[in-house]
Amino acid sequence: MNLNRQDWERVLEKACEIANATEHEEDPMFGVHVEGMMTLLNELEAKYGPQSQILATRADYLEDYSERRTLYQQALDLAKKSHDTKGIEEIMDSIKQLDQEEKAEPDAGAEGSEAGRDSA
């Protein structure tokens, strides 16, 4: 089942709110808007079931690289099954961007474990 255009417009509006909140450093509304996005995506997933657009959008707003990669892969699998060429391209772009982010922070995962060792 494809997402209703009106439902997807709600996601786009929420994405704009998030983008506007990030324009101002440390805007306290950023977290509120991201939480609102996750709630909206949960509603849409309950209504439509797992959809590549929903999974990929959820991944876009997660901080954990591993979780993001898992969701992007699930989204990619769904897009391939539905022969969604545009969706496949967009998800592949997101995966490439994730790869770049991970390379820019090669020790991101190790920092937490090092901090734990330092305090021991």
- The CATH number assigned to the domain holding 37 equals 1.25.40
Total domains in the chain come to: 1
User: Tens digits of per-residue pLDDT, 44-100?
Assistant: 999 999 999 999 999 999 999 999 999 999 999 999 999 999 999 999 999 999 999
User: Tens digits of per-residue pLDDT, 94-117?
Assistant: 999 999 999 998 665 444 333 333
Range of the domain at 101: 5-105
Helix H, strand E, coil C: the string for the chain is CCCCHHHHHHHHHHHHHHHHHHCCCCCCHHHHHHHHHHHHHHHHHHHHCCCHHHHHHHHHCCCCHHHHHHHHHHHHHHHHHCCCHHHHHHHHHHHHHHHHHHHHCCCHHHHHHHHHHHCC
88 found inside a domain: yes
Q: Which residue has the higher pLDDT, 119 or 13?
A: 13
